[in-house]
Structure 1
Amino acid sequence: MTNVELALSLWGLENTETTLIAERENAIYRVDTPLDRYVLRLHRRGYRTDAQLQAELAWMAWLDHAGLSVPAPVPSLAGPNLQFVSGTQVDILTWLDGKTLDVALLSLPLSQQCDLFFRLGQTMAQLHDTSDHWPSAKGCDRPHWDIDGLVGKDPMWGRFWDNPGLTPDEKALFLAFRTKARDHLTRLSATLDYGLIHADLVPGNVMCSADALHLIDFDDGGFGFRVFELATALLKHRWDPGYPAFKAAMIDGYTRTRPMNTNHFLLFLALRAATYVGWNITRADEDPTQTRNARFIAQAKELAVAYLERYHQVTRD
């Protein structure tokens, strides 16, 4: 039996139809039965500890119980949500139907696009409120998107200033940005809302249906600045003509439920963009043309320059 078949047997789902739908951090399969559909995750070895995955599953269960539309863990036949097959961590989640946010936006006029961002802001505020009320939140083992996790010696997603695609001038720029951003964050941190965040609410992780927004893929969820969550959700729309309206709608939706200090939003956009430059260092071989790496560098460079010019009177060369 394959690992997929062995994993399914632990949930009593033998002889079901499986389809590989993603393979990066984890191998993700859609599992179809005559009555239901599920998500099977085979986790990449060494990426998350057992304790971190158990915390993720417990967190999603809490959010689901509180009424958010997130994938909920499905207990195995033996009871635990997390199981092991040939040394690989495996779990099964409920399936959520819908279009990804980027696809949903394509067919809508600007006013309805803004409505979606307003709803997303509301949903993120609900996510943060509900997470703050989770009894196990403070002691759970999840990553930290804190100052060190963003601009420390070894950031969560890699040393962005060491990306081999950087020119010497770009490397110098990112090192200057890192220094200034770290100082800025150190001064600001006490004034910022910090707690559990999804940390990866890119358009592909927000599913839209007629009656709800569904938040999927909590793999990188952990503790972080709540404004970083909003910056992550908006970054890939930063160069869209509708961006100012999207940003206003999202912040409006969020702040109607929960206060948010967005005075330094540009800093968090630049920080989020820099994380992708670090993230791509170990994934450069996925794109032999290096087009993706060049795009990540260009976007982060633009935002880093804008941030330095606004806050530190640094002029463009």
Structure 2
Amino acid sequence: MSDSESTPSLAALTTRAREALGHWGLGTQKPHLLKFRENAVFRIVLTNGEPAALRLHRPGYHDENALKSELSWMAALRRADLRVPAPIATPDGRHIVSLEATANFGTQHADIVSWMNGSPLGQSGVPLPHSRERLATIFRSLGETMARMHAASDAWLPPPSFSRPAWDANGLLGDQPLWGRFWDCAGLSAAQAQRLGDLRQSLQNQVNALSRLDLDYGLIHADLVRENVLVGSDRIELIDFDDSGHGWRMFDISTALFKNRKEPEYPLIRACLIEGYRTARPLPDHALDTLPLFEVLRSLTYIGWIGERSGTPDATIRMQGYVADALALADALRTGP
């Protein structure tokens, strides 16, 4: 939802969710709102008594074909024994339903996916609570899971209609990046905008040069932050494929590491994730050498993201933190080790 749109009340969201649930024959229950960010996500109960997640998608963010493509990829990963949510069809076989515009909502889509039972790895900005031994186990498993996801994606033949965004040079640094124009957004000072604009130009040359490295490229999750990594009793679960698309696999690895960089055990976290990844898929040293570049690219996306959400209560603080982090990473990239 853009800042220009009013935030619907819980009552309005619940009514909209029950409208969506009617397509599955579940409209009489009261859904429980879990979060409302890009999508409104509700915990609901299926006719067999099992919990599931209803997603009301942000109007205009992805079209119906992109949403169907997301679900088809998730279904393929599920068939490859990855623990990801599975799409749940309506009685007449649809995975996506369309909801007409109302006074509170634009035209939007909804779907239901299976419930995942793990607990979030952590929360952004909060120190990880796990012991050193537990961190090693979790991040080895996460690295292996990511590698298996990438391998399963390469082995899968998408349908001809498959369409997802690309986290490529254009999606990261083009005129309209996927997460917003980080050099030209609300909350930047003139000096910050100038520095970020100059940085964008210099990074374009570095990203274009990646073609010479033959980096691994294909379908990626693109948002493997702590909240989207669930820790189960024996395996890792991955959720929230809303931003999934085509991209460098190093972008996935960078994202999984990015917000753990200030953890005291970060060297262990990094080493174990890489070790786990290499148990299931090659990850050459020359690819790992690009991690500082992908850290800068990842940091810039957060500036664009918060810049398009200037109405968020802590937007100013977060903007300044993201800018400082991005410029520090860029300076380190420029000077090298």
TM-score interval (norm. to shorter): over 0.9
Residue identity in the other structure for 1:221 = S
Q: Which amino acid aligns with 2:108?
A: T
Instruction: Indicate conservation of the 8 Å contact 1:170/1:301, yes or no.
Output: no
TM norm structure 2? 0.87
Deviation (angstroms), 1:175: 2.2
Q: 2:332 aligns with which of 302, 306, 317?
A: 306
CA distance in 2, matches of 1:189, 1:175: 23
* Aligned counterparts, 1:128-147, within 5 A: 128-136=150-158, 140-147=162-169
2:307 aligned counterpart, secondary structure: helix
Greater CA drift, 252-261 or 163-172: 163-172
How far apart, CA to CA, are the structure 1 residues paired with 2:142 and 2:227?
A: 13
Q: Are the aligned partners of 2:128 and 2:263 in contact in 1 as well (CA < 8 Å)?
A: no
The verdict on how the C-alpha distance between 1:289 and 1:93 changes in structure 2, with shifts beyond 3 A counting, is: closer
**2:32 maps to 1:19:** yes
Determine if contact 1:110/1:242 at 8 Å carries over to the other structure.
yes
Aligned residue in 2 for 1:266? 292
Match of 1:88 in 2: 108
**Aligned residues of 1:100 and 1:208 also touching (Cα < 8 A):** yes
Structure 1 residue 171 corresponds to structure 2 residue 175: no
Q: Which residue in the other structure is 2:3 paired with?
A: none
CA distance in 2, matches of 1:14, 1:287: 33
Pick the aligned partner of 2:118 from 95, 98, 103.
Answer: 98
1:119-150 Cα deviation digits (max 9, x unpaired): 11100000000111111178620000000111
Q: Considering only aligned residues, what root-mean-square deviation do their CA atoms show, in Å?
A: 2.0
| 5+ residue gaps, structure 2 | 1-13, 101-106
2:184 corresponds to: 162
CA distance in 2: counterparts of 1:128 and 1:101, whole angstroms: 20
TM-score, length basis structure 1: 0.92
Give the number of aligned pairs.
311
- More off after superposition, 265-274 vs 151-160: 151-160
Runs of 5+ unmatched residues, structure 1: 312-317
State the distance in 2 between where 1:265 and 1:169 align: 27
Range 124-133 or range 294-303, more displaced = 294-303
- Deviates further, 211-220 or 81-90: 81-90
Q: Greater shift after overlay, 266-275 or 295-304?
A: 295-304
Same amino acid, percent of matched pairs: 39
Deviation at 1:15, TM superposition (A): 2.6
Q: Is the 8 A contact 1:105 1:113 kept in 2?
A: no
